[in-house]
Amino acid sequence: MANPRVNILSEEVLSSNWYTLRKYTFDYQRADGSWGRQAREAYDRGNGAVILLYNKEKETVVLTKQFRLPTYTNGNETGMMVEACAGLLDKDNPEECIKRETEEETGYKVSAVKKIFQAYMSPGSVTEILYFFVAEYSDDMKVSDGGGCATEQENIEVMEIPFKEAVQMVASGAINDAKTIMLIQYAQINGLVGQ
């Protein structure tokens, strides 16, 4: 950490139950040169990767649907979320991670993926960097039904849907996951799937 305007005074682990929640106390130099003391919490769940699988010929995309407890506790009546395939890096590099997650979650074995960008998804409270990928898929790449990793208690529904329908689902709010919206809009802007 090399910002001369930040001086971290203390770091306290508040929880390490699932991932790690830390409280930091630090001094921060304001634009006018004065210093102020702040305390903030940061949740470290590791970095992740996400991918949009698309098929130009069929004009379709592969998405997943699963229960997400945090959304259920914050107004999502069913807790179900339609999302692009994603996962935590663990000890893999982003490309290897997303290939593994794609096969586990969707049942498609992809060998060529393209990194399009990376982003902090919730920089006010979460440390995670998410690496975004796209990849073309075809029916002959299907090696299993997908559904996730049973040992991780994943219960994932695989959805192959027309790209136009995915765009409409974003507009209607049926898809309201930020990473998925970003990938669908990327595909739309860059003409990856039918216009």
pLDDT one-digit tens code per residue, 71-125: 999 999 999 999 999 999 988 799 999 999 999 999 999 999 999 999 999 999 9
The four Cα atoms 61, 63, 139, 103 give a dihedral, to 10 degrees, of 140
> Measuring CA to CA, which residue among 49, 70, 63, 170 is closest to residue 119?
49
pLDDT one-digit tens code per residue, 17-72: 889 999 999 999 999 999 999 999 999 989 999 999 999 999 999 999 999 999 99
Domain ranges of the chain: 6-44, 48-189
Planar angle of CA 43, 186, 139, nearest 5 degrees: 100
| DSSP secondary structure, 172-183, as one string | HTS---HHHHHH
Fold of 48-189: Nucleoside Triphosphate Pyrophosphohydrolase (3.90.79)
pLDDT one-digit tens code per residue, 137-159: 999 999 988 877 766 667 899 99
Q: What's residue 151's pLDDT?
A: 65
Long-range contacts made by residues 93-102, C-beta under 8 angstroms, separation at least 24? 94/47, 94/49, 94/118, 94/131, 94/133, 95/49, 95/133, 97/48, 97/49, 98/49, 98/50, 98/51, 98/131, 98/133, 101/49, 101/51, 102/51, 102/53, 102/135
Distances (CA, A) of 76 to 4, 52, 72, 152, 179: 42, 23, 5, 23, 17
Mean pLDDT of the residues in the chain: 93
